[in-house]
Structure 1
Amino acid sequence: MFPIIFDLRKILEDTIVEYIDVDFTLWLSWLLMPLLITFLLPLVIVVLLYLTALILYVYKLHRATLRNAYGTDWRNAARNVVAAVWDAHGWIWYGYEVVGLENIPQNEPILFVYYHGAIPIDLYYFISKIFLSNSKLIHTVADRFLFKCPGWSIISDVIKVIPGTIQTCSTILKEGNMLAISPGGVYEAQFGDSYYQLMWKKRVGFAKVALDAKVCIVPLFTKNIREAFRTISWGRRMWLRIYAATRFPFVPIYGGFPVKLTTYVGKPIPCDENLTPEELQIKVADALNNLINQHQRIPGSISLALLERVYTAEKRES
């Protein structure tokens, strides 16, 4: 009697281990896969940033050899490699392209003003494309918290990323360089949504910079940038309080969806010294809102943005 019961128990255990556990594991992995993908894909951008730091350190350590190879300083050689990496990633994963390059004035300093996505990957791609096309580097203003991150110092040194006071930004432009600023900054990145509303509050620093340096402003907007990466929508009040107290972007980001990304370059807004910073801010905001209303589906849809990627690719091939 007992041997029979033991054999039946052994057969049952073997059956559970061989079939039920396998099926449960497959079911569990199927269930959790979307969650894992949506929250892990943003880490790809972090990996790329640290890959950037790694490449820059390699060029710094081997600059003597590389200088002989490229006939220039290690920073410029490294920028070309880093730009090529980001440009390739943008083309492969997002089918990234720029429309309106003819609107960028040649041989003069320019202040680019752009809408800030949850992760500003579009700016990385845009900077890379401009640098590869004419070897001109766009300086960038970033939030101060980034400069406390390990490995960021070499990126900011080589890629020319600055915290950005009015004086330093104006000096950069007066020296004939190009500069990119997002007036919404981290606040817009963390609390913006698929309705693409500008969240600039009363920030007029960029307008003061443009008026002081006497440069034109070129608006930039990337279609579907909020469909590539998003911040979670629940707990908004809690996250707002945390941000107000810490000024640190704690809101979780998910995404990395391979939607179609297209950056639209608006018409340049010439410097008008008769305008006040507040009036110039309104003028630039109107120009950027016009780009958004003209090119972006409101509200944005991840599924439609994915379909647009396929449709655009098929249209280009035909």
Structure 2
Amino acid sequence: MRELDLEEFVDEIYEDSEKNPDSKYIFFLGAGCSVSSGIKLASELAKEWYEELKKQKSKFDKFNKKYKIKKKDYGEYYFEIFETLFPTPLAQQKEIQRITECITPCLGYYILTELMQKAQFNTVITTNFDNLIQDALIYSGNKRALVITHQDLAKFIERNNTPLITKIHGDAHMHPFNNSSDTKEIPEDLKIAIQGLFINAKVIFIGYKGNDESIANLLDGCKRIDQVYWFGSSQPITSKLKNWWETLSSKAYIKEREFDKIMSLIKDKFDLDKPDFKKRFEELESSYSKAEETETETLENIKVKSFIDYFILGNTYFEKYEYKKAINSYKKSI
């Protein structure tokens, strides 16, 4: 095993991508990447849910008697706490949606989406439920990605010039896999498709601790990964990936876990552009204005207008401060 510092890693992948246009990289992202976007880590969520469980005294007493959780053990009982507080699939999905709502991409995600415009780096696999990568692509105006959010879409997993995001544990809005039974095994079709992506690829793990049994089973079946880069405060030797990690023939460990910092150095080395948010906003505003003008023109040209047509025209004129036209249209809509 090699130990690299962050700068060595960035130099290595840059030189390789420049010299070998057929090199394939995959980013494997875990929950740690979304922390600076406002999503709490599993241990923090478990603690929050544990405190909330206290409000249901009988259930809490029964739970505490069974598991006898100590303060430092919240994360180890993530699934048990989650499933006790949210006992039904619908309740679990709503909680995941709550966690992932009203958040915006951090710096690292914007840089990643710029890098994903390069075919060598356009593939991401993640255990996260959030839509931060998709949001960053949309906000920055970059090429959209094919997003695989369910096992039934596994047949569409293929590496080409279109950015690809595969969400192993599903999506916040479509059956998220966030309980002990769901995360034990990845559906076979999805597993085979992902393992196919890993063949001769260089896989970069960031923000992932390696505590999913399903991911361990997935990686155990990957026999032809070209190179693994593992970012974190430690190697995954105490996680469920221990056996897989120890049998890897080509691996590098980088002692760094800050996603934004990692991606910032990549941005500088690859000379990636900063998203032009002003231009993107102007494009969206222009598109909206043109659509509004087209609709107004269409309504104005209707010879026999309905009261709804006049009402819509009245609203449109009012928003444009053309008050006389607005009043006239409102009168005709009555």
Q: Is the shorter-chain TM-score for this pair beyond 0.5, marking a shared fold?
A: no
Higher percent of residues as helix: 1
Superposition TM-score, scaled by structure 1 size: 0.31
